[in-house]
Amino acid sequence: MHIHILGICGTFMGGVAQLAAASGHKVTGCDANVYPPMSDQLEAAGIVLTEGFDAAQTSLKPDVFVIGNAVSRGNPLLEAILDQGLAYVSGPQWLAENILQGRWVLGVAGTHGKTTTASMLAFILERAGLNPGFLIGGVPMDFGVSARLGKTPLFVIEADEYDTAFCDKRSKFIHYRPRTVILNNLEFDHADIFADLASIETQFHHLVRTLPATGRIIANAREESLKRVLARGCWTPVDWFNGWKGGWRAQGDDADGSLVIHDENDYEIGRALWELTGAHNRANACAALLAARHVGVSLADGLAFLSEFKNVKRRMEVRGEAGGVTVYDDFAHHPTAISTTLDGLRRKVGPVARIIAVLEPRSNTMKMGTMKDLLPQSLRLADQVFCYCGNLGWDAQAALAPLGAHQSCHDDLASLVAAVAAEARPGDHVVVMSNGGFGGIHQKLLNALAML
């Protein structure tokens, strides 16, 4: 089959492309911006790329056009496909029908932590010799790629609640039909497509309705939203984790890197030392261990494997050190994720070391200003906050005013870099938080710090 993918350089669609090529399909694709690192991965897989969405690409005559959810009505190639009555399908539907069909799918859903938890789960299964396939919305450092076909029926997928395509406004995860699913958490997000939390809960309930009675749900006991989802109907056994009392839970200490797992009766089943920080990552680990247990990996083995886990690129990834200042890259862009990221780092570096937060509110939800009032509280553990507000439609200076003199806003990247470099001093930790490339600010900061 020849498929031509619209929006091929996105993490998800690029993963679909690589899985399709590995399955023997002829794959071509296009995107508005074709550039590394995704373009390098795709070209290495033998995939021919076209820059732009020129309608002339219909002359390629593929068997089907696969449409990414970043492609909207008005796109010239999409309009030509519709006008000519050509065959098309969404990325998640093509994936479900051609890659996931007949496999044991382990889905990882939730507002936060999907990429890290899915990476942990895939790593545990890999170290257990189960050679899973996977499609993850980031690049696990232990694998070096975001997607792999695998050699067994097991397939780990990051189950995203964002909508499927221009023609299908259901959440992407509805297509995956997992047998094992992690429901990590559920908060309001994606204000561009969801009116409120209740509408997202409905999509999660639709996901729950697709699970078989022989499957397993791993659910976060601290999330009232998930309890509401399951109360609407559940036909699958549930393992609760991360509860205040009862249920499976993880503890540990960021200062010494310990990770301790307790069972439903509060009995300690094992402990390990690992590189990750934060209570959120310990909860992620607990969920991944329980999901792996459902396919036969013992908790003791899984815990031992996690001591070797290297995390995911852009999840508190150390990008370098200059002038005695450590610069991190993190994907946090929702207030809850910002708060947990800073909390984990604070516990690791102690109360004396200074933390400088550099934030780009780049997601659609953040650009709309829906959660701007939550930002000051989420940034409270940072000693100084710098915000890039060049693309915002709301007043970042006013929103961050509760932080007083500990914050400053900049609408020019060069001035932002200069201000951070002038503020930083040896021993500081600079955390850059954005769900985009942020103009290559990490290296620019390191260069500026090296010159001081």
Render pLDDT for 30-69 as a digit per residue (tens, 0 to 9): 999 876 677 788 888 889 999 999 999 999 999 999 999 9
Amino acid at site 51: E
Top-tier CATH class for 317-450: alpha beta
Render pLDDT for 425-434 as a digit per residue (tens, 0 to 9): 999 999 998 8
The closest of 292, 296, 323, 295 to 306, measured between CA atoms, is 292
Contact 264, 295 (CB under 8 A): no
Per-residue pLDDT at 269: 87
Q: Give me the residue label for tokens 């540990």.
A: 252
Task: Tell me the C-alpha distance between 343 and 335, whole Å.
Answer: 12
Instruction: Give the dihedral sign, CA 250/253/259/260.
Output: negative
- Residues carrying CATH 3.90.190.20, the chain: 317-450
Task: Tell me the C-alpha distance between 158 and 95, whole Å.
Answer: 13
- Residues carrying CATH 3.40.1190.10, the chain: 102-306
Q: Is 196 exposed, middle or buried (0-12, 13-18, 19+ CB in 10 A)?
A: exposed
Per-residue pLDDT at 4: 98
Task: Tell me the C-alpha distance between 351 and 115, whole Å.
Answer: 29
Cβ-Cβ contacts under 8 Å for 282 (sequence gap 6 or more): 250, 251, 252, 259, 276
The closest of 430, 423, 374, 422 to 402, measured between CA atoms, is 374
Task: Tell me the C-alpha distance between 348 and 381, whole Å.
Answer: 13
Q: How many CB atoms lie within 10 A of CB 260?
A: 16
Task: Tell me the C-alpha distance between 42 and 49, whole Å.
Answer: 8
CATH of domain 102-306: 3.40.1190.10
Task: Tell me the C-alpha distance between 114 and 120, whole Å.
Answer: 10
Superfamily holding 2-91:
NAD(P)-binding Rossmann-like Domain (3.40.50.720)
Per-residue pLDDT at 207: 97
Task: Tell me the C-alpha distance between 408 and 423, whole Å.
Answer: 11
Contact 117, 184 (CB under 8 A): yes
Please tell me what DSSP assigns to residue 222: T
Which neighbouring-strand residues pair with 220? Answer: 241
Amino acid at site 19: L
Q: What number of residues does the chain have?
A: 452
Helix, strand and coil percent figures for the chain, each rounded to 5: 35, 25, 40
pTM value is: 0.82
Along the chain (452 residues), what's the average pLDDT of each consecutive run of 10 residues? 94 93 95 78 88 96 96 97 98 97 96 91 97 91 90 96 92 96 87 84 96 97 95 96 84 86 87 86 94 96 93 81 90 82 86 92 75 87 90 82 89 89 92 84 89 75
